[in-house]
Structure 1
Amino acid sequence: MDNARTIALTLKQEPPMQDTRAMLESHLDTIPMVKAMQVAIGDIEPTRLQLTAPLSVNLNDKGCAFGGSLVSLMTLAGWALVTARLHDAGFAETEVFVADSEVKYKAPLWDDLIAEVVAAEGESLEDFVAAFAQKGKARITVEARVPLPDGGVATSMRARYAAFAKR
């Protein structure tokens, strides 16, 4: 096999998820609010990511989950999914920002927070990474939710993220 083909195949191979987890943890550890919320990384899959936080440090005055914590956890989950996919594609030097978001608070949450995020319907993480590879910048819309223990939804968010190559 020639060197060019070997390099191309190497770039397409996904790094082990523990590398992705370690990279995300190192970024999240630098954010004071993340420490205060006691955010932890849950499941990481190629098309889905989960962040968790205990209710005990994310309470409002009513004893249920604080709305600011809910939206913060979903926003961080979206950032983490986009950042992880770029990292896995070999783009370690990127800046990812939330461009805009819409949040819906549907029901109080009286349990630990679990934010789940995926690409929005009609969006593709693969197309997003391909656009980034071609242009050095890209946008993607994601959908996040914090489920209730009974299977309902406490909070949902639709957000657009922008990624740029670091200069």
Structure 2
Amino acid sequence: MSPPRQPGIPHPRLPLPEGEEDLVAFQRWLEAAIPMVEALGITRMSQANGALTWQLALTPNLNDKGTGFGGALSAQATLQGWCWVTLWLRQQGRAQDVVVAEASQRFLAPVMGDYRMTCAPSHPDGPSQLAAKLSERGKGSIELTHQLYCGDLLCLEATGRYAVLPNA
């Protein structure tokens, strides 16, 4: 086990991938870099067709009513967006910092069992627009959409704008 994180001290970056990203290694790094991640119940990450999908366990995210705690679901959506942008940057060979600029959620139905959450660009041209901004100015942002499903039931929709900061 690594020593606990200390405020004000950045966690070392994960080396850029040579080829396809190892999402298991990325998740292990993420759990070390952001201590609360280990408690969020992420059981699997996958990427396909421009989307990042997580499988999640409900048990660590229960509220007092026995359903999904809204704060945990919001945190998961925010983190997933950060991961989507970070993984996209890594695929572009870029190691830049990402921050959430704004986020909103709509809770549509209670989460009553294990669930999956997907994250993808809100607009099909979002990644190409971000790439152009990064090329021109070294910084940019992208809007992402999250959907949380419990079985086939859509329980949460969220959007977030994530900013890529210029290199120091």
Q: TM-score interval w.r.t. the shorter chain?
A: 0.7 to 0.9
Give 4+ residue runs of structure 1 displaced > 6 Å after superposition: none
Gaps of at least 5 residues in structure 2 are: 1-17
What residue is the counterpart of 1:163 in the other structure? Answer: 164
1:15 counterpart = 2:57:
no
Contact 1:86 1:129 in 2 (8 A): no
What residue is the counterpart of 1:131 in the other structure? Answer: 133
What residue is the counterpart of 1:3 in the other structure? Answer: none
Relative to the length of structure 2, the TM-score reads: 0.81
Contact 1:97 1:161 in 2 (8 A): yes
SS class of match (1:77):
helix
My pick for the range that moved more, 78-87 or 38-47, is 38-47
Gaps of at least 5 residues in structure 1 are: 1-13
CA distance in 1 between counterparts of 2:34 and 2:111 reads: 24
CA distance in 1 between counterparts of 2:166 and 2:47 reads: 23
CA distance in 2 between counterparts of 1:75 and 1:157 reads: 9
CA distance in 2 between counterparts of 1:154 and 1:129 reads: 32
Contact 1:79 1:97 in 2 (8 A): yes
1:87 counterpart = 2:90:
yes
Q: How does 1:1-167 map to 2 (within 5 A)?
A: 15-18=19-22, 22-23=25-26, 25-45=28-48, 47-92=50-95, 94-121=96-123, 123-149=125-151, 151-167=152-168
SS class of match (1:99):
strand
CA distance in 2 between counterparts of 1:166 and 1:98 reads: 17
CA distance in 2 between counterparts of 1:122 and 1:139 reads: 14
SS class of match (1:107):
coil
Who wins on radius of gyration, i.e. which is larger? 1
One-letter code of the match for 1:15? G
CA distance in 2 between counterparts of 1:99 and 1:17 reads: 25
One-letter code of the match for 1:81? W
CA distance in 2 between counterparts of 1:129 and 1:27 reads: 24
CA distance in 1 between counterparts of 2:70 and 2:115 reads: 11
Percent identity reads 27
Distance 1:123 1:69, change over 3 A: farther
CA distance in 2 between counterparts of 1:113 and 1:156 reads: 13
Distance 1:23 1:56, change over 3 A: closer
